[in-house]
Amino acid sequence: MEEPPHLFLCPISMELMDDPVTVSTGVTYDRRSIERWIFGCGRATCPATMQPLANLELTPNHTLKRVIGSWLDDRGGSPSTSASSSPSTSSLSSPAHELAAPLSRVLEAERLRSVLAGLEETPFKVTALKRMRACMAGDVAMQCEFVSSGGIQAVARVMAQALAESGAGGDFSAFRACEEAAAVLALLPLADAASVGLLLAPECMRPVMALLQRGSAEARLHAMDIVTKIFNAGAGDWTACVEVDDVLKSLLELLADEVSISTRLSSRALDVLLDIVERSRIGPTKAVEVGAVHVLVELLANADDRHDAERILLLLKRLCKRPEGRLAFAEHDLSVAAVAKTMLRVSELATQLAVKVLWLVSVVAPSEKVLEDMVLTGAVAKLLGLLHVESPPATKQKTVRMVRINGVFWRQYPCFPTDLRDYLRLLD
């Protein structure tokens, strides 16, 4: 039986597709294989690219199914019957033609191993890495060949060497090699503990953090893809294997760079920051020390995306549970205004999180500056307004207690509306 064209093979099973369907990333799989991946294994990612699936719809690829059907008909109807079918033009084709497809795969794998073997010695590392990247893109089998041939270790060493050379002499070409190496690693699924463990080695993580700080826009995305796949792999506490300070500084510098950062990049950076604060025992304290509260408040003040605003509020809530976090919040002039702006405006979840943040800074450890800012920025008025709308019992309870506890302080301000003063008396 002639080997099927590569496009006819499912990227998961590497077998001829019977019912090809396309997922939201544009990659086509056999329905049985992709349903097992999504619904059987509970994964919401594209196996070939490891990108999150925007939805779980499987769109039949009728065109590809017809082409595969025509290909099978020309060869006797099915792989199992073609060998016993009557002689035809296809059965009399030359041996070279019959072996073309499998021979091509063997040659591609051999070329990949050859490039890997000479990668550390060649002076043309960028070219070699680009060739490797083109060979592996969208090809799960080649990605597996890369990993089994020690590709992660080889590329990590090249990254470390390139970063050292670029730092020593300011060699742009060396840093370019570091960026291209990250692009190669970003292609990998990185779903197994062994691959993640190799990437968590200092010689690999240091260059990745450097790319987050000063790489090109594309290199930053690749570096963030690597970090995101590491924590999505669920390989225990990955933060224990890295310098948390360096990772936090890289993420915060990235988020603070309003000029070159993209929406996709900032969204992923917030996800990683949340994971560190949740997972690492020292994460919240370290985050406050390197200025996370200041950066998050600035981001919240300018946030247009609902999901970003909710994640920023969640981070502020977790950081404000620490005394140092509440102190940093109180010191920023825009903190109360930024949080109050999201109440009754962004989403129900954002309102709940905003109330929790204000509760932590005005009741758990109140400061006169925060209480004053709550009056001047309209946060108190929004809290009272919240009592008149549907909200979860816990949110309403916190709102009532804030008003009761701090009402005496707020009534002394001339800008405090008369009707709100009367309302506070009723609560008392």
C-alpha distance from residue 416 to each of 253, 371, 396 (Å): 39, 12, 21
- Side-chain-side CA neighbours of 307 within 13 Å: the count stands at 8
Question: Closest Cα to residue 421, out of 391, 380, 388?
Answer: 380
- At 105 the pLDDT is 67
- At 235 the pLDDT is 56
- At 93 the pLDDT is 37
Lowest mean pLDDT among 14-18, 263-267, 328-332: 263-267
Residue 256, phi then psi, degrees to nearest 5: -80, -15
pLDDT band for position 165 (cuts 50, 70, 90): confident
d(CA 326, CA 350): 19
Domains 1-60 and 103-241 share a fold: no
- At 97 the pLDDT is 41
Mean pLDDT of 325-345: 93
Arithmetic mean of pLDDT over the chain:
82
Would the pLDDT of 401 be above 80? yes
Can you give the pTM of this predicted structure? 0.66
d(CA 45, CA 56): 9
pLDDT band for position 368 (cuts 50, 70, 90): confident
Mean pLDDT of 318-324: 93
- Please state the domain extents for the chain: 1-60, 103-241
Mean pLDDT of 82-86: 35
C-alpha distance from residue 428 to each of 147, 243, 349, 392, 410 (Å): 68, 51, 28, 22, 13
Residue 122 is encoded by which pair of tokens?
């060649």
DSSP structure class, residue 7: G
- At 68 the pLDDT is 86
- Sorted by sequence, the CB contacts under 8 Å of residue 64 that are 6+ apart come out as 7, 8, 17, 20, 28
Question: Closest Cα to residue 382, out of 408, 366, 358, 405?
Answer: 358
- Side-chain-side CA neighbours of 128 within 13 Å: the count stands at 22
Would the pLDDT of 168 be above 70? no
* Cα-Cα-Cα-Cα dihedral sign, residues 235, 241, 243, 246: negative
Would the pLDDT of 398 be above 60? yes
Which one has a higher pLDDT value, 417 or 325?
Answer: 325
Would the pLDDT of 125 be above 50? yes
Which one has a higher pLDDT value, 236 or 200?
Answer: 200
| pLDDT tens track for 231-261 | 777 655 677 667 788 888 888 888 887 655 6
Would the pLDDT of 24 be above 90? no
Question: Closest Cα to residue 18, out of 32, 37, 34, 39?
Answer: 32
Would the pLDDT of 312 be above 90? yes
CB 370 within 8 A of CB 340: no
Which one has a higher pLDDT value, 92 or 363?
Answer: 363
Mean pLDDT of 202-224: 85
CB 178 within 8 A of CB 223: no
Amino acid at the residue 89: T
Residue 60, phi then psi, degrees to nearest 5: -60, 135
pLDDT band for position 278 (cuts 50, 70, 90): confident
Which one has a higher pLDDT value, 77 or 186?
Answer: 186
pLDDT band for position 325 (cuts 50, 70, 90): very high
d(CA 265, CA 243): 21
Would the pLDDT of 320 be above 60? yes
CB 147 within 8 A of CB 188: yes
pLDDT above 70: percentage of residues in the chain: 85
CB 187 within 8 A of CB 229: no
CB 342 within 8 A of CB 350: yes
Would the pLDDT of 78 be above 60? no
The CATH number of 1-60, from 3.30.360.10, 3.40.50.1220, 3.30.40.10, 3.10.20.30, is 3.30.40.10
Class of CATH domain 103-241: mainly alpha
CB 147 within 8 A of CB 195: yes
Would the pLDDT of 20 be above 60? yes
Question: Closest Cα to residue 23, out of 68, 51, 53?
Answer: 53
pLDDT above 90: percentage of residues in the chain: 23
Query: Per mean pLDDT, which of 105-119, 308-322, 364-378, 383-397 is the most reliable?
Result: 308-322
Question: Closest Cα to residue 1, out of 70, 65, 60, 84?
Answer: 84
pLDDT band for position 191 (cuts 50, 70, 90): confident
| pLDDT tens track for 89-124 | 333 334 434 434 455 667 677 778 888 888 888 888
CB 91 within 8 A of CB 46: no
How many other CB atoms sit within 10 Å of the CB of residue 176?
Answer: 18
Q: 363-400 burial string, b = 16+ CB within 10 Å, else e?
A: eeebeeebbebbbebebbbbbbebeeeebeeebeebbe
Burial (CB count <10 Å: 0-12, 13-18, 19+), residue 17: buried
CB 272 within 8 A of CB 227: yes
d(CA 173, CA 160): 14
